[in-house]
Chain A
Amino acid sequence: MESIELLINRKKVKVEVDSNTPLLWVLRDHLSLVGTKYGCGIAQCGACTVWLDGEPMRSCVLPVSAVGKSAVTTIEGLNEKAEHPVQVAWDELDVPQCGYCQAGQIMTAAALLKKNPKPSHDDIVAGMSGNICRCGTYHRIHNAVKRASEIASASNSSKKK
């Protein structure tokens, strides 16, 4: 057991856990942040995707000791009012079916758009293909990433005005 300090969703927290514990289980079991999902435990499905300093990571295989001072962002920290362009687009296109994989999809999509604000269809398909959706919502996921990109760009241009 170690006492580990973490920066999660802009808040400092301290947990007493084995340092090998994957970040996923620290979030879910110790911090009651259950929005990040367990799907496979071997970094295959992407349901557990969170950001480490803005980079998407598979939290199910990331030992908490490796997080260090990096800022962790989970679905709970993306935007509580669901006003992030990706969340807005996901709702507008009614992407979720069972919804279980969607936190991971959204975190992946939002990270993708940060790097590539105007992705082509091929960029979107490639960028999202690491995340499994068992309900088969892939078409709406792809369309929603595109839509989120439009929403973000409209909001940026209106800010400039």
Chain B
Amino acid sequence: MKTTRRSFIQKTALLSGVFSLGFDWFESKANAGIIQQMNPVLDANRFNAFLSIENTGKVILYSPNPEIGQGIKTAFPIVVAEELDVDWKQVEVRQANLDTQLFERQVTGGSGALKHSWERLRKAGATARQMLVQAAAQQWGVDAISCKTSKGFVIGPNKGQKLAYGALVDAASKLPVPSEVTYKSRSDYQLIGSFVKGVDNYKVLTGKPQYGLDTQKSGMVVAQIVRPPAFGSTLVSFDAAEVKKMPGIIDVVSFKNKVAVVGKSTWEVMQARKKLVCSYSDTSNLESDSTHQKWFDEGMKTDKVKVERKDGDFHAAIAKAAKVIEATYECPFLSHTPMEPMNFFADVRPGSILLAGPTQVPQSAQKAVATLLGVPENTIQVELTKMGGGFGRRLNNDYALEAAELSSIIKMPVKVMWTREDDMTGGIYRPAVRYHFKAGLNEKGEMIAFYLRGVGLNAGNSTRQDNFPVGAIDNVLIESFNYNSAITTGPWRAPITNFLASAEQSFLDEVAAAAGKDPIQMRLDWLQKVKTNPVGKITYEPDRFIEVIKQVAEKAKWGKKGANVHQGFSVYFSHLSYVAQVAEAKIVDGEAKVTHLTAVTDCGEVINRSGAENQVIGGIIDGYGHAMFSKLSFDKGVPQQKNFDTYKLIRGNEIPTVEAHFVNNGIAPTGLGEPALPPTGGAVANALFAATKKRLYRQPFAGPDNANL
């Protein structure tokens, strides 16, 4: 592993005794060759470095990525601290604000943070450690190779040679950056893979302000925004006379089809907005659930599809198949419903703009506000707050733009808050999708033809055409068709695969049953074929698939749990991680109930045992709860569920038990925020089928209409 000095940003602040290494130094073209000296005053306020060590020995690690509950603010520093070889108790973790000069990819999305940053994080820690060792070696007049480190100390070869990192900071910061660094071997890991508690726990447990909605700034007013009730409605006019008479109201302004009520306090604004009288004009074809059903029906018949993948000749193969299996699956729109509703703070002043709030993509917020207001990006500061969940909703900065636009109009610092009803009815949903699968088996029960058509509403390509079992089947045809709906959509935890996997894994269970094969053995046979003779391009590693499947079969005692335990299997590859699951259903008082799930995950190296379990178990509960219970429906463009009294989220008395196992094979880590969710719906549907002999084709499974489509 080589780090060239040319491609390294070293930031030193000699007078302050702070030694910091930039985060994104290597292979960063924009910053190649920069060696900066920073004065201590700037340093003290900067939030632009990744790692700093004070003379006291305190280590400050800056976590650049937005924290939505995925645990990145704990996971990133674990990697740096491991390679730096410090005592975790010496480490203070701080959330970095948006800094496009110092940090790359300050994004929470796609479960991509650890995959992107693993090498960078290790190198940040290892480089600093090596410089501290060098500084100590020079001081003692010994060879650096004869020194070792332990919990924030460099230990020399001779008796009594032991120096704390803090005492070496000044000397180390004057040294050249090493051209090569050595990483710890896995067997020496003390932090990586251990159970590390969330770095924000104390703040959470004592109610300290840290979320966007907790933002309080000097001179700040609060606002709520009234949006058209129906998707497809346009604001024509409004009468705010009564609103303005209400106590605490400062202003009522309109922009972009919306009316903002600005006031001194949240409750006053909530009351006043009820007095607002708006008139809207509707498009002639406001969408209802029945509209969407009609579109799905049409989409399944149209020949104007996009062919996403074609291997061999599906039509010829299905024509000569000994057996054909077909099934159709459908999911509704879903709201993201993070517990903290959308909100953002903006203070727009001439020449300088401050934004603060929950966003998964702060740089996009900066760019979008710059475009909206016609100002340079570098005049916009973005402070990152901790987020009360995101699930993809905060990849869309619509609410941040509202705050910026409103502040620019009223010329006041303002916090825009969405109520729960605003949040649930204000758009950006998981798209509704219908899938049709068809499989052809030969006389031996081997799948020789596989077909999928996805029809989505604002879903783009609703298939993942290169994913398993594609690669194992000779004749494949995968098509997508997208309807442009007035209902706005966006990525929702494990975009597309959150339902595609459920549908596909249910269908493959039907295929196995029709072929008279064990569903696990059928997948293993296919993966053997992929290993020896893959069909076309594949995006997954068959061996890693095989391993999670074998392990889950063993851990869940597949087929060995007796007649009263009905098992369902599912496996899926997404966000570069592999997750196999077995769900168990039992008949309790005459009704089938999912009681347990076992998951085996290959996400490469497990960074934080606690965080990893949280993501897998949480992802499974999320996947299970939404598959069973949740649905957002529409009547004439209006969402029919507006709050948790009608939009059902899973509660603690409805959860199955969950076991989370990890392969933990030491491969560079991949995502965990999403991959555990996609397989769950399929495992659950298959277990419920095993218990009831009834296939489930429509989510939510516990909904009223689970008839065959």
Contact = CB atoms under 8 A, between A and B. Distances in A.
A131 B652 contact: yes
Nearest to B69: A98
Interface in A106-156: 106, 125-126, 128-142
B267 A22 contact: yes
Interface string B174-217: 00000000000000000000010110111111111101011010
B383 interface: no
B4 interface: no
Contacts of B71: 97
A57 interface: no
Contacts of A81: 206
A139 B265 contact: no
A18 B339 contact: no
Contacts of A139: 617, 621, 655, 657-658
B202 A99 contact: no
B30 to A, nearest CB: 33
Contacts of A17: 265, 267
B617 A134 contact: no
B200 A99 contact: yes
Given A90-B205, A102-B205, A129 B651 contact: yes
A40 B201 CA distance: 23
B327 interface: no
Interface string B333-347: 000011111000000
Q: Taking each of B198, B247, B625, which has the highest tally of chain A beta carbons within 10 Å of its own beta carbon?
A: B198
Interface in A59-83: 74-76, 78-82
Q: Is the interface of A mostly helix, strand, loop or mixed?
A: loop
Nearest to B652: A138
B614 interface: yes
Contact of B622 (A33, A76, A82, A136): A136
A99 B625 contact: no
A136 B650 contact: yes
A35 interface: yes
A134 B389 contact: yes
Contacts of A99: 69, 198, 200, 203-204, 386, 388
Contacts of A38: 213, 266, 341
Q: How large is the interface on A (under 10, 10 to 19, 20 to 34, 35 or more residues)?
A: 35 or more
A75 B206 contact: yes
B388 A18 contact: no
A141 B216 CA distance: 30
B644 A40 contact: yes
Contacts of A90: 201, 205
Contacts of B216: 32, 34
A45 B207 contact: no
A141 B266 CA distance: 30
A23 to B, nearest CB: 10
B631 to A, nearest CB: 16
A141 B653 CA distance: 12
A107 to B, nearest CB: 10
B3 interface: no
A94 B194 CA distance: 13
Given A94-B197, A128-B652, A82 B265 contact: no
B420 A103 contact: no
Contact of B420 (A18, A21, A40, A131): A40
Interface string A1-45: 100000000000000011001100100111011111111111011
A35 B388 CA distance: 12
B267 A29 contact: yes
B676 to A, nearest CB: 10
A47 interface: yes
A96 B340 contact: no
Nearest to B71: A97
Q: Taking each of B201, B208, B611, which has the highest tally of chain A beta carbons within 10 Å of its own beta carbon?
A: B201
A52 interface: no
Interface string B218-248: 0000100000000000000000000000010
B618 A28 contact: no
A96 B266 CA distance: 27
Given A30-B265, A90-B201, A97-B614, A37 B388 contact: yes
A29 B266 contact: yes
B452 interface: no
Nearest to A47: B339
B439 interface: no
B202 A100 contact: no
A36 B340 CA distance: 12
A157 B2 CA distance: 59
Given A98-B339, A98-B389, A125-B652, A44 B645 contact: yes
B644 A45 contact: yes
B381 to A, nearest CB: 22
B643 interface: yes
A142 B649 CA distance: 18
Q: Taking each of A32, A101, A103, A132, which has the highest tally of chain B beta carbons within 10 Å of its own beta carbon?
A: A132
Contacts of A133: 339, 652
Contacts of B268: 18
Given A40-B644, A103-B207, A129-B652, A96 B338 contact: no
Nearest to A38: B213
Contacts of B649: 132, 134
A82 B658 CA distance: 29
A47 B208 CA distance: 15
B206 A136 contact: no
A53 interface: no
A41 to B, nearest CB: 6
A140 to B, nearest CB: 8
B205 A101 contact: no
B653 A25 contact: no
Given A30-B265, A91-B201, A82 B211 contact: no
A74 B420 contact: no
B448 interface: no
A87 B206 contact: yes
A156 B652 CA distance: 29
Closest 7 CB pairs of A and B: A35-B207, A98-B69, A100-B388, A136-B621, A75-B207, A99-B204, A97-B69
Given A91-B197, A132-B339, A134-B339, 15 more contacts: A25-B265, A25-B267, A34-B207, A41-B420, A94-B614, A96-B69, A98-B339, A98-B386, A99-B203, A102-B204, A130-B651, A136-B650, A138-B651, A139-B621, A141-B652
27 contacts: A18-B247, A18-B267, A18-B271, A32-B209, A37-B388, A45-B644, A75-B206, A76-B206, A80-B206, A87-B205, A90-B201, A90-B205, A92-B197, A94-B197, A96-B69, A96-B200, A96-B205, A98-B69, A98-B387, A99-B69, A99-B203, A99-B388, A101-B339, A128-B652, A132-B644, A133-B339, A138-B655
